[in-house]
């Protein structure tokens, strides 16, 4: 098989132009029931004093796949963050922020508290009317998107490096979302970068640090900061999208066991109020690592088979629960597991799309359209075909889905990198994906009596493959390789057919539809991460049982040999296999 692939490969370049258009947080989440009693309200009547601080450009402030991500120590350099924030205001039309409202939140990682004060003061210094900030600066990425939309804000800041580790020696990041709740498009991020290269002045308000620890409103002249509950708006939205009674019926069954791993990251603040308090999951067994910590408990908050170790151990061990899930640093990714069964994210989005109309009230008229990022497997394409709805392929990164959603053409979409979501907001949404899966299982099992065999996660996936065929998929990540050798490897691959450079990566598509894709990550903060994506379709149900690593072995071997990956990088094993 490998040699026939080798003879018929057609390297294609992917071009964007071709496309259609902390402990305290958990405690405060619990405390929200009493929150109305502690609302502060104060104002300092005098006019706001604005200071102008001279500054110099700093190199390297170009945003990647999702915002600006660097080591904390880099962000702690004088004016490093302030420069970027001021460059952002210099890039936006004044009518988009002067007198307007911006949302501010983050995943609770180290440096967020300092950053929240810096951002608030520069926003005030540039004429922003109001900052809506999550208590203690906490808001998950999907919650920021939800709050922007619900409160009709002009945009918002997300303080997070997402799945990258946190703490004084690790990563920090910042991202700006626009009024639809969607990550700023490249036109804006390119302008911000341009402005970081010529910046000479930072405008900041001369106000004291704002107390973000309790709910309330405080004003300085015309500028207001409102500290909001990080969970309430988001829960309300989830209750509108899903049938909570249906899910509660499943989670309170004595014969269904559920576990969610918050990885000591932001969803720790959301998991208990949603899964336990609202939906009746077991308060003792169901939440793992539920206390958000500034360094994620020294963990790597990336919900995959390598880094979500505790969950994987639980779900693949004896006496495993029926359903397991995890989310990342900022709560936008998800991993779905059944008992001793991994649902690959490319399959997960396809399965959610195929079952959405039946199981999720928000989609009762059926999805309007479906979309995936380029390296994500074609499983979703087959569902779009069958449902007879429009289908779109976009480059890697959630910012490319928003316009299609705003145009009413897209309801459900996903990325192979554990990102799944819909047009209820403009970000991928980890808890949404978990609730979507629980809805599917609840729907399938709603008439099952206790003691009857329940339809499992694995059953749902196998049925899906039997209907649509199986797109075997795997991704190999080689993290923190030496940048120069990674670039040389990509150049070597381009030389395979002499094609031009494309920042979206390089893909080899075979006549049977199999694909090998090579990409360099745009979210790392040190060295280069090489991603190799491998996909092969199998319609024959008798072969669906195969382990993906076995089914894909010939293609994987071919990918490693044509890229000469080992020669270039010296790596003989990937850091992460999905
Ligand atoms: C990765 C993923 C991409 C995702 C991005 C942001 O980017 O591959 O699909 O959109 O992270 O996700 P890259 O360039 O490293 O491959 V998150 O949860 O880190 O904001
Ligand atoms: Co994330």
Residue-wise pLDDT for 59-73, tens only, equals 899 888 888 999 999
Residue 376, pLDDT score = 96
- Going from the Cα of 306 to the center of ligand 1, the distance in angstroms, rounded, reads 16
Question: Is the torsion defined by CA of 122, 124, 125, 126 positive or negative?
Answer: positive
Which range, of 9-18, 169-178, 219-228, 477-486, averages the lowest pLDDT?
9-18
What residues form DSSP beta bridges with 371?
392, 413
Question: Which residue's CA is the nearest one to ligand 1's atom 11?
Answer: 523
Helix extents (H) in 70-109: 72-75, 80-91
Residue 491, pLDDT score = 84
Task: Identify the band that residue 19 occupies on the pLDDT scale cut at 50, 70 and 90.
Answer: very low
Question: Which residue's CA is the nearest one to ligand 1's atom 2?
Answer: 417
| Residue environment code for 389-417, b if the CB has 16+ CB neighbours within 10 A, otherwise e | bebbbbbbbbbbbbbbbeeebbbbbbbbb
pTM assigned to the model: 0.88
Residue 497, pLDDT score = 63
The pocket around ligand 1, CB under 6 angstroms, is made up of 65-66, 162-163, 328, 332-333, 373, 396-398, 415, 417, 419, 521-523, 531
Of 3-7, 435-439, 449-453, give the range with the top mean pLDDT.
Answer: 435-439
Is the pLDDT higher at 494 or at 18? Answer: 494
Residues 408-435: what's their mean pLDDT? 97
Percent of the chain exceeding pLDDT 90 equals: 72
Residues 192-219: what's their mean pLDDT? 95
Percent of the chain exceeding pLDDT 70 equals: 91
CA distance 519 to 323: 32
Q: Is the pLDDT of residue 28 over 70?
A: no
Chain centroid to Cα 261, Å, comes to 16
Cα→Cα distances 324→83, 122, 282, 474, Å: 42, 42, 13, 20
- Going from the Cα of 162 to the center of ligand 2, the distance in angstroms, rounded, reads 4
Domains and CATH numbers, the chain: 38-230 (3.40.120.10), 234-468 (3.40.120.10), 472-577 (3.30.310.50)
Q: Is 52 a catalytic residue?
A: no
- Going from the Cα of 41 to the center of ligand 2, the distance in angstroms, rounded, reads 33
**43's tokens:** 């104002």
Question: Which residue's CA is the nearest one to ligand 1's atom 15?
Answer: 521
Residues 251-280: what's their mean pLDDT? 96
- Going from the Cα of 455 to the center of ligand 2, the distance in angstroms, rounded, reads 30
pLDDT, tens digit (0-9, with 9 covering 90-100), for 546-556? 888 998 988 89
**Per the residue annotation, which of 66, 140, 162, 456 is the catalytic one?**
162
43: left (phi over 0), alpha (psi -120 to 50) or beta: beta
Residue 43, pLDDT score = 60
Average pLDDT score over the chain: 89
Task: Identify the band that residue 523 occupies on the pLDDT scale cut at 50, 70 and 90.
Answer: confident
Cα→Cα distances 460→253, 347, 435, Å: 19, 11, 15
Task: Identify the band that residue 149 occupies on the pLDDT scale cut at 50, 70 and 90.
Answer: very high
Residue 39, pLDDT score = 52
- Going from the Cα of 429 to the center of ligand 2, the distance in angstroms, rounded, reads 9
Atom of ligand 1 nearest to the CA of 333: 18
Residues 339-352: what's their mean pLDDT? 97
- Going from the Cα of 27 to the center of ligand 2, the distance in angstroms, rounded, reads 23
Query: In testing the pocket of ligand 1, which one of 67, 263, 371, 419 has its CB within 8 Å of the most ligand atoms?
Result: 419
Atom of ligand 1 nearest to the CA of 519: 16
- Going from the Cα of 346 to the center of ligand 1, the distance in angstroms, rounded, reads 14
Atom of ligand 1 nearest to the CA of 329: 18
Query: In testing the pocket of ligand 1, which one of 66, 159, 420 has its CB within 8 Å of the most ligand atoms?
Result: 66
Question: Is the torsion defined by CA of 94, 95, 97, 100 positive or negative?
Answer: positive
Of 222-231, 487-496, 536-545, give the range with the top mean pLDDT.
Answer: 222-231
Residue 17, pLDDT score = 29
Atom of ligand 1 nearest to the CA of 531: 16
Residues 511-519: what's their mean pLDDT? 85
Residues 293-315: what's their mean pLDDT? 93
Maximum alpha-carbon separation in the chain: 77
Q: Is the pLDDT of residue 273 over 60?
A: yes
Torsion of CA 277, 457, 477, 313, to 10 degrees: 70
Q: Is the pLDDT of residue 29 over 70?
A: no
Query: In testing the pocket of ligand 1, which one of 144, 157, 176, 396 has its CB within 8 Å of the most ligand atoms?
Result: 396
- Going from the Cα of 375 to the center of ligand 1, the distance in angstroms, rounded, reads 12
Which range, of 22-36, 74-88, 183-197, 313-327, averages the lowest pLDDT?
22-36
Question: Which residue's CA is the nearest one to ligand 1's atom 4?
Answer: 397
Which range, of 14-18, 42-46, 88-92, averages the lowest pLDDT?
14-18
Which range, of 88-97, 184-193, 232-241, 337-346, averages the lowest pLDDT?
184-193
Count helices and strands in the chain by DSSP H and E runs? 20, 25
Task: Identify the band that residue 97 occupies on the pLDDT scale cut at 50, 70 and 90.
Answer: very high
**20's tokens:** 């259609």
What residues form DSSP beta bridges with 341?
338
Q: Is the pLDDT of residue 473 over 60?
A: yes
Q: Which ligand is nearest to the CA of 523?
A: 1
Q: Which ligand is nearest to the CA of 415?
A: 1
Residue 41, pLDDT score = 61
Query: In testing the pocket of ligand 1, which one of 184, 517, 523, 525 has its CB within 8 Å of the most ligand atoms?
Result: 523
CA distance 65 to 521: 8
CA distance 432 to 275: 12
Atom of ligand 1 nearest to the CA of 522: 14
Q: Is the pLDDT of residue 490 over 70?
A: yes
Atom of ligand 1 nearest to the CA of 330: 18
Which range, of 268-277, 392-401, 439-448, 558-567, averages the lowest pLDDT?
558-567
């Amino acid at each position: 098989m490998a040699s026939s692939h080798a003879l018929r490969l057609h390297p294609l370049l992917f071009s964007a132009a071709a496309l259609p258009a902390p402990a305290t947080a958990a405690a405060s989440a619990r405390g929200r029931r009493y929150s109305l009693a502690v609302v502060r309200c104060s104002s300092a009547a005098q006019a706001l004093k604005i200071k102008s601080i001279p500054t110099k450009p700093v190199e390297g402030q170009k945003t990647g796949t999702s915002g600006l991500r660097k080591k904390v120590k880099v962000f702690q350099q004088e004016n490093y963050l302030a420069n970027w924030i001021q460059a952002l205001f210099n890039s936006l039309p004044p009518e988009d922020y002067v007198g307007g409202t911006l949302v501010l939140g983050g995943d609770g990682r180290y440096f967020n508290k300092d950053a929240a004060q810096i951002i608030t003061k520069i926003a005030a210094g540039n004429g922003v009317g109001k900052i809506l900030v999550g208590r203690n600066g906490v808001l998950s990425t999907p919650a920021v998107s939800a709050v922007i939309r619900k409160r009709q804000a002009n945009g918002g800041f997300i303080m997070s490096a997402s799945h990258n580790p946190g703490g004084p020696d690790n990563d920090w990041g910042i991202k700006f979302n626009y009024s639809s709740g969607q990550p700023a498009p490249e036109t804006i991020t390119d302008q911000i970068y341009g402005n970081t290269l010529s910046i000479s002045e930072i405008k900041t308000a001369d106000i004291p640090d704002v107390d973000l620890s309790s709910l309330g409103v405080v004003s300085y002249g015309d500028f207001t900061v409102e500290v909001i509950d990080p969970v309430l708006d988001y829960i309300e939205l989830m209750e509108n999208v899903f049938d909570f009674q249906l899910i509660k019926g499943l989670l309170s069954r004595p014969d269904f066991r559920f576990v969610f791993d918050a990885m000591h990251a932001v969803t720790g603040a959301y998991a208990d109020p949603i899964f336990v308090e609202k939906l009746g999951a077991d308060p003792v067994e169901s939440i793992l690592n539920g206390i958000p910590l500034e360094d994620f408990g020294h963990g790597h908050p990336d919900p995959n088979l390598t880094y979500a170790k505790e969950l994987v151990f639980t779900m693949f061990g004896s006496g495993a629960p029926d359903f397991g899930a995890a989310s990342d640093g900022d709560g936008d990714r998800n991993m779905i597991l059944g008992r001793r069964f991994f649902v690959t994210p490319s399959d997960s989005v396809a399965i959610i799309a195929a079952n959405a109309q039946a199981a999720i009230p928000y989609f009762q008229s059926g999805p309007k359209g479906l979309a995936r990022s380029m390296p994500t497997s074609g499983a979703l394409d087959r569902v779009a075909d069958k449902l007879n709805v429009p289908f779109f392929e976009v480059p890697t990164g959630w910012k490319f889905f928003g316009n299609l959603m705003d145009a009413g053409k897209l309801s459900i979409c996903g990325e192979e990198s554990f990102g799944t979501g819909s047009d209820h907001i403009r970000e991928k949404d980890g808890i949404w994906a978990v609730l979507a899966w629980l809805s599917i299982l609840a729907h399938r099992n709603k008439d099952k009596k206790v003691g009857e065999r329940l339809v499992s996660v694995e059953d749902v996936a196998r049925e899906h493959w039997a209907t649509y065929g199986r797109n075997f998929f795997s991704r190999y990540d080689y993290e923190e390789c030496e940048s120069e050798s990674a670039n040389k490897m990509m150049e070597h691959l381009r030389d395979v057919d002499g094609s031009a450079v494309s920042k979206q990566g390089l893909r080899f598509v075979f006549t049977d539809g199999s694909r090998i894709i090579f990409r360099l990550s745009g979210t790392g903060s040190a060295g280069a991460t090489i991603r190799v994506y491998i996909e092969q379709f199998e319609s024959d149900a008798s072969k669906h049982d195969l382990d993906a690593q076995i089914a894909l072995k010939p293609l994987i071997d071919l990918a490693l040999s044509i890229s000469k990956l080992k020669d270039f990088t010296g790596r003989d094993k990937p850091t992460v296999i999905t």
